[in-house]
Structure 1
């Protein structure tokens, strides 16, 4: 899988993702949802999504080729965030191949609206726009360093802006902590959580991640200064968060 160090192999699996996937969650209710609290519209399912078709189909993995329009919707959400210029380090939108290599190059997971018991129950849709109401968020897991340090992973998270306010960050953050050890990683490190991203910082602190460092002036972000131009770019520090799975047990309440 691709990284700043080139292609890095994922660790040997330490367990089966099938023991925690599909993973189900109840969405935080909005005032307009009170009458529908028992419907599938308030349920979400986390599944793995694979860039290449698996030789053996699983009950928890979607194929990017079968659900190409879902990947297109993920791509669109990601590029919209990149164009905002205030959370991810990429300066320009990624094309289809670049996005697939970046977000689907390791282990990737997608959170979709509905209560699915099997990946095969997720119907394909005709285009990316049809996915917008059901695509809630997604994240990747891949090595942060090469070789002798490849037991430490990195994660990247994305919430569909249409569905903010439903507690999606917490749902995906807890799921991340459950799947990472099964993939085989011993620790996780988030390199660049910009201090201007208040919601993300609050989330990782609330979930129990350790703050292990700060990178001064790590990002040249939009809306943060007076460097010139309409974007009012400025330099922002980044906080680094860490989880050591061997010394920091995942709380039992994160199981659901």
Structure 2
């Protein structure tokens, strides 16, 4: 994996992701859902997802080879967020190869609606559009200096279900198993209000602010001499050796 320091290898694993994946969660109910509170539509499952099949982790890792339309759907959700222009630094949408390199280049995880025991239960879909009602969100974990960074995405169609908290808590569980000792989110733009609130609520340390770190589509006119479009970024940190994950976060 490439970084500002050059190529950085994934650390030696401290445990098996199979010990915590698939990971199940209950979605926050909407007012219209109260009568169906026991429906499987209120359940979600987190799997790892990779570019290629893995012979050693087939029951907890989906692959782009067998679920190509799922990756296509992830790409579309990501590009929609780039177009909206409040959270990610990219100024232009990513094509299939660019998205694969960016989001699936390290360890990646996808949250889908329903309760699944293993990847064989997750049926392939004919198109990305068929995935839209079940693709809830996804995140990556990759090297950031010798520690790690994470990038998170919620499908805008499913906001309000507590997905950020579900994925944030999963992040705190899987990162130590991958082998990282600490994590730092370099660029959480202050325009990304939901993420800033989430990391503060989960107990991440706020360790810095970078003025004008992002030039975002959703924040004004880009280009020229105007300062419009530039926003500050907040840096959040978690040290897994000195900051034990609270029990209430590991659920």
Counterparts of residues 200-211 of structure 1 (less than 5 Å): 200-211=195-206
Distance change >3 Å, CA 96–CA 31, structure 1 → 2: same
Equivalent residue, structure 1, for 2:36: 36
* CA distance in structure 1 between the aligned counterparts of 2:106 and 2:17, rounded to whole angstroms: 14
Q: Which moved more, 1:191-200 or 1:172-181?
A: 191-200
Report the 3-state secondary structure (helix = DSSP H, G, I; strand = E; otherwise coil) of the residue aligned with 2:219: coil
CA RMSD of aligned residues (A): 1.6
In the alignment, what sits opposite 2:136? 136
More off after superposition, 11-20 vs 232-241: 232-241
**How much does 1:32 deviate?**
1.1
TM-score for the superposition, normalised by structure 2: 0.95
| Residue matched to 1:222 | 217
Equivalent residue number for residue 163 of structure 2 = 168
String of CA shifts for 1:104-152, please: whole Å, max 9, x gaps: 000000000000011111000000000000000000000011xxxx2x1
Q: Which moved more, 1:51-60 or 1:205-214?
A: 51-60
- Alpha-carbon deviation of 1:5? 4.3
Moved over 4 A (4+): 225-229
Is this contact kept in 2: 1:137–1:160, CA < 8 A? yes
TM-score by length of structure 1 reads 0.93
Distance in 2 (alpha carbons) for counterparts of 1:30 and 1:240: 32
Unmatched runs of 5 consecutive residues or more in structure 1:
none
Deviation at 1:224, TM superposition (A): 3.0
Once residues 64 and 6 of structure 2 are traced to their aligned partners in structure 1, the CA distance between those partners, rounded to angstroms, is 23
Q: For 2:2 and 2:102, how far apart are their aligned partners in 1?
A: 7
1:103–1:226 CA distance, 2 compared to 1 (3 A): closer
Task: Give the deviation of 1:2 after TM superposition.
Answer: 3.8
Aligned to 1:107: 107
